[in-house]
């Protein structure tokens, strides 16, 4: 304190000796100069610091971009070689157009983009035209594709299902004559390769339908015997009519004699194989599903057969999931061969639901929690009919329209992840008429290695020559 006072006095004393104004001014200027120089240095430091940060940011950004495109470039060939050759080819897949991938490289399953509800995108599912695909919901990822089948094609699928035979339905208990086939139609449906002749294989392909009601085993045997005794080994339409005379009439009688149940089942179903040797329309359905989903064709080819269901008036189905939760103790029904667990569950990555007719009234497909903010099972109650009224999203059946939805989320690495709880759905009550649907499921094991093992196992036992290369390819994809 004392020193301070002294120096203060000294200063004051100094000011007495020298003329105050100039001295003062110099002092002030000096102080000003010093202040401003201190200030500018601070500014300089701050500015430089920001400048460096800025430069470092830019460099980091450039490095980031460079690094990202670098790893992206590695991804592109994989995707191109794995995805595009499958997605691009038309109805006929070209086995030769495959790049070779080592099995260790992880294959990414293509997944369609929903963008937003109501978004419409053009998709190519048949070679000569495009279809509109509209996003109906994002949770689950659900699309609607009108005109997936023409009305005529839908009719043929229904007829094929009837020909194969719907479980629990019979002619006797269903006097509706409109669904009966003429002999010409029957011949056409039996003639899988449409060459105007019935080969032995084409007739035998029906022998699996022991549950069928359209061709009883008696009639099947009759046709088969007719073919065996025919010197040419094939049946023309005329010969078919001769040996199968009254097939449909006998069919009803045979059912009665067999003592088949006369209780009219309310919902009936059958399975239609979509693979080699089947009706060309069914093969086309398979190809359309492949093109729509952009999945490797062999994944679709190895999936379960299409299920055709007829819902009668007064019928509904409870809300359910098509696939099962992923669980290490479970193995998929389709890859069970390659697994070592006892629990078998259905693993259906996605569903393509085809409306084969437009139900007169009712029969909507309801997604009770579609795009809801949360999923709470308790709120849904017993998941019976009532969910239909409460349903967030209801789709009216229109002949030929297809719905596509993913039953599983992605696992983040381009493979099948958890079951999407939001894919819950059910069929509302059919209030008038019939509803016909066809369900195509693409089976993929959430365990990628098991799926690969299964593919390898299957490819060792090719069923047909034409299949071998495709299966071969698929390994390389995986
Ligand atoms: C299957 O599992 C059992 C025990 O859980 C094991 O002993 C057996 O070696 C396994 N088989 C294969 C083929 O992995
Ligand atoms: C739908 O979302 C709302 C709001 O989050 C929630 O209260 C309701 O329980 C959800 N409904 C179902 C069925 O989960």
Domains and CATH numbers, the chain: 121-180+261-475 (2.60.120.620)
- Using DSSP's 3-state secondary structure scheme, residue 131 falls into strand
* Highest mean pLDDT of the ranges 20-24, 238-242, 340-344: 238-242
Closest CA to 161 of 308, 312, 282: 308
Residue 340 CA to ligand 1 centre (angstroms): 6
Chain CA centroid to CA 82, Å: 17
Question: With the C-alpha atoms ordered 347, 352, 356, 362, is the resulting torsion angle positive or negative?
Answer: positive
pLDDT at 346 over 60: yes
Average pLDDT (50-70) is 76
By most ligand atoms within 8 Å of CB, the mutation choice from 376, 381, 386 for ligand 2 is: 376
- Tokens matching residue 228: 């065996």
Q: Kindly tell me the burial class for residue 416, based on how many C-beta atoms sit within 10 Å of its own C-beta (0-12, 13-18, 19 or more).
A: buried
pLDDT at 264 over 70: no
Top pLDDT among 39 and 467 is at 39
> Which pLDDT value is given to residue 38?
55
Closest CA to 334 of 324, 9, 135: 324
pLDDT at 419 over 60: yes
pLDDT at 265 over 50: no
> Which pLDDT value is given to residue 475?
40
Top pLDDT among 25 and 188 is at 188
- Using DSSP's 3-state secondary structure scheme, residue 300 falls into helix
Q: Which atom of ligand 2 is nearest to the CA of 390?
A: 13
Average pLDDT (98-122) is 76
Average pLDDT (354-363) is 93
pLDDT at 120 over 80: yes
Question: For residues 245 and 280, is the Cβ–Cβ distance under 8 A?
Answer: no
> Which pLDDT value is given to residue 84?
36
Average pLDDT (156-170) is 76
Top pLDDT among 477 and 166 is at 166
Question: For residues 143 and 136, is the Cβ–Cβ distance under 8 A?
Answer: yes
Average pLDDT (411-428) is 92
Q: What does the alpha-carbon distance between residue 50 and residue 220 come to, in Å, rounded to a whole number?
A: 88
Closest CA to 423 of 109, 139, 143: 139
> pLDDT band for position 408 (50/70/90)?
very high
Q: What does the alpha-carbon distance between residue 50 and residue 58 come to, in Å, rounded to a whole number?
A: 12
> Which pLDDT value is given to residue 4?
45
Kindly report the backbone phi and psi dihedral angles of residue 316, in degrees, each rounded to the nearest multiple of 5, phi listed first.
-145, 170
> Which pLDDT value is given to residue 366?
92
Share of the chain above pLDDT 90, in %: 31
Share of the chain above pLDDT 70, in %: 66
Residue 388 CA to ligand 2 centre (angstroms): 15
> Which pLDDT value is given to residue 461?
46
By most ligand atoms within 8 Å of CB, the mutation choice from 374, 386, 390 for ligand 2 is: 374
Helix axes 151-164, 183-190, angle to 10 degrees: 90
């Amino acid at each position: 304190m004392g020193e301070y006072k002294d120096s203060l006095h000294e200063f004051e004393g100094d000011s007495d000796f020298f003329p105050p104004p100039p001295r003062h001014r110099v002092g002030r200027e000096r102080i000003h100069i010093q202040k401003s120089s201190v200030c500018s240095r601070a500014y300089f430091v701050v500015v430089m610091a920001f400048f460096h940060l800025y430069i470092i940011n830019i460099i980091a950004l450039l490095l980031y971009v460079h690094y990202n495109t670098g790893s992206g470039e590695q991804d592109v060939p994989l995707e191109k070689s794995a995805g595009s050759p499958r997605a691009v080819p038309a109805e006929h897949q070209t086995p030769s157009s495959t790049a070779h991938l080592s099995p260790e490289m992880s294959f990414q399953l293509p997944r369609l983009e929903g963008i937003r509800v109501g978004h419409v995108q053009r998709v190519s599912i048949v070679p000569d035209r495009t279809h509109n695909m509209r996003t109906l919901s994002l949770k689950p990822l659900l699309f609607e594709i009108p005109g997936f089948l023409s009305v005529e094609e839908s009719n043929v699928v229904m007829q094929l299902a009837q020909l194969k035979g719907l479980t629990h339905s019979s002619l006797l208990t269903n006097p509706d004559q409109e669904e009966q086939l003429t002999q010409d139609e029957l011949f056409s449906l039996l003639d899988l390769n449409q060459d105007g002749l019935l080969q032995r294989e084409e007739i035998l392909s029906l022998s699996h339908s022991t549950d069928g009601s359209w061709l009883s085993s008696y009639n099947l045997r009759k046709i088969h015997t007719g073919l065996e005794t025919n010197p040419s080994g094939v049946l023309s339409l005329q010969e078919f009519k001769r040996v199968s005379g009254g097939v449909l009439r006998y069919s009803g009688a045979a059912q009665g004699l067999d003592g088949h149940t006369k209780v009219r089942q309310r919902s009936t179903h059958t399975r239609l194989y979509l693979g080699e040797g089947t009706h060309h329309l069914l093969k086309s359905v398979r190809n359309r599903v492949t093109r729509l989903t952009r999945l490797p064709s062999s994944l679709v080819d190895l999936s379960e057969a299409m299920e055709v269901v007829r819902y009668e008036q007064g019928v509904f189905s409870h809300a359910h999931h098509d696939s099962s939760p992923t669980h290490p103790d479970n193995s998929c029904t389709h890859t069970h061969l390659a697994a070592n667990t006892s629990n078998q569950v259905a693993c259906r990555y996605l569903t393509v639901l085809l409306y084969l007719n437009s139900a007169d009234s009712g029969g909507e497909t309801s997604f009770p929690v579609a795009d809801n903010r949360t999923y709470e099972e308790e709120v849904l109650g017993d998941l019976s009919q009532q969910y239909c009224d409460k349903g967030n999203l209801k789709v009216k059946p229109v002949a030929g329209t297809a719905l596509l939805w993913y039953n599983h989320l992605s696992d983040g690495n381009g493979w099948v992840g958890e079951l999407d709880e939001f894919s819950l759905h059910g069929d509302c009550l059919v209030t008038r008429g019939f509803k016909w649907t066809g369900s195509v499921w693409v089976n993929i094991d959430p365990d990628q290695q098991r799926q690969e093992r299964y593919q390898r196992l299957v490819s060792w036992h090719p069923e047909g020559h034409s299949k071998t290369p495709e299966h071969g390819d698929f390994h390389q994809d995986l």
